[in-house]
Amino acid sequence: MFEFSKLTHGDPRSPPLIFLHGFMGSKEDWKEMFESFESRFYCIAFDLPGHGSTPYCDEMMSVLKKEIQKYEGIAKPAIIGYSMGGRIALRSQHLASKIAIISGHPGLKSKKEKEERRKSDEIWCEKLLTLPFDLFFAEWYAQPIFQTFSRNGPLMQLIIKRRMKQNPHHLSHVLRQMSLGNQPRITRYRCPCLFLYGEEDWKYREIYNKLPKTVGVAGIKNSGHAIHFENPQECAKKILNWMRDDNT
């Protein structure tokens, strides 16, 4: 039986709220946000397969969906997902009461875009397996999308120190399996969805501004792609206000 390593906060009798981290992340990535939610929700953060203390498996979506279903009681759980975790949340909409997606891509449109992304991710996989881990992180966080995050030296060093505990071989398997190039494009939203982008993340600002009017979209000040690290309080506040206002 597949077992997830997890952190929980709050009263188990409260409505469940599941947190899904991004690629190379861990359950500890959500600690700064738990305090905002634990009075109203039972907060559950997983180490996703191949991350932290959870083993890798070849059927990530299958085991994740089974795990999410365990928390369905009177109501389906709400889900908050960052980046890869946001993509997982979007693919699990039928299991959720509502979803908040933090810098998560709804999916590429064309075969060409998907093929280019798979090739790019394969290059990163090779780097994971061949470069010293610290040099890999230096290259990873030099990507333009992490420009604002990398300006905060102490925060970035703290996160990299946490990432250094990961297994690069497991991460390479995850990246191949969960590449954006392999993800179906999401065009149907079965539950209330909120998409959050950092106001300095121009790429995701543009992507989200093209989403259907049926979903919520909001920008978070003083942040780029890694919103939940760069401005966790404002991120949590925006999600909580949306949850209160949503009457569906």
| pLDDT at res. 248 | 46
Which residues are CB-neighbours of 240 under 8 A, at least 6 positions away? Answer: 36, 37, 40
| pLDDT at res. 75 | 81
128 inside domain:
yes
Q: Are residues 15 and 129 in the same domain?
A: no
Its domain, for residue 165, covers 111-176
| pLDDT at res. 149 | 86
Q: Are residues 35 and 152 in the same domain?
A: no
In this structure, which long-range contacts are made by residues 91-96, counting pairs with CB atoms below 8 Å and at least 24 apart in sequence?
Answer: 91/61, 91/183, 91/184, 91/186, 92/61, 92/64, 92/65, 92/68, 93/189, 93/190, 93/191, 93/193, 94/190, 94/191, 95/65, 95/68, 95/69, 96/68, 96/191
Q: Are residues 89 and 195 in the same domain?
A: yes
| pLDDT at res. 185 | 95
Distance from C-alpha of 36 to C-alpha of 41, rounded to nearest angstrom: 10
Distance from C-alpha of 78 to C-alpha of 18, rounded to nearest angstrom: 6
Contact (Cβ atoms closer than 8 angstroms) between residue 46 and residue 4: yes
Q: Which of 176, 194, 217 is the last residue of a domain?
A: 176
Q: Are residues 51 and 144 in the same domain?
A: no
Q: What angle do CA 62, 67, 73 make, to 5 degrees?
A: 130
Q: Are residues 11 and 132 in the same domain?
A: no
Q: Are residues 100 and 218 in the same domain?
A: yes
Q: Which whole-number Å values give the CA distances from 244 to 30, 72, 103, 190, in the listed order?
A: 21, 20, 21, 19
Q: Which of 145, 176, 207 is the last residue of a domain?
A: 176
200 inside domain:
yes
Q: Are residues 95 and 142 in the same domain?
A: no
Distance from C-alpha of 19 to C-alpha of 81, rounded to nearest angstrom: 6
Kindly give the confidence (pLDDT) of every residue in the chain, 248 residues in length, as a single tens digit, with 9 standing for 90 and above: 789 999 999 999 999 999 999 999 999 999 989 999 999 999 999 999 999 999 999 999 999 999 999 998 878 999 999 999 999 999 999 999 999 999 999 999 999 999 999 999 999 999 999 999 999 999 999 999 998 988 888 888 989 999 999 999 999 999 999 999 999 999 999 999 999 999 999 999 999 999 999 999 999 999 999 999 999 999 999 999 999 886 54
148 inside domain:
yes
Q: Which of 176, 206, 225 is the last residue of a domain?
A: 176
Q: Are residues 193 and 169 in the same domain?
A: no
| pLDDT at res. 247 | 53
1 inside domain:
no
| pLDDT at res. 127 | 97
Distance from C-alpha of 222 to C-alpha of 198, rounded to nearest angstrom: 7
* C-alpha of 171 from chain center: 15
- Crossing angle for the helix pair 60-69 and 168-178, to the nearest 10 degrees: 90
Could you tell me the two tokens for 27?
């359950």
Q: Are residues 101 and 12 in the same domain?
A: yes
For residue 71, give the CATH number of its domain: 3.40.50.1820
- Among residues 147, 177, 149, 143, the alpha carbon closest in space to that of 50 is found at 177
DSSP-derived 3-state class of residue 220:
strand
Q: Are residues 158 and 148 in the same domain?
A: yes
Could you tell me the two tokens for 191?
């539950």
**Alpha-helical runs (H) found in the chain:** 31-37, 60-69, 84-90, 111-130, 133-140, 147-151, 153-163, 168-178, 202-208, 227-230, 232-245
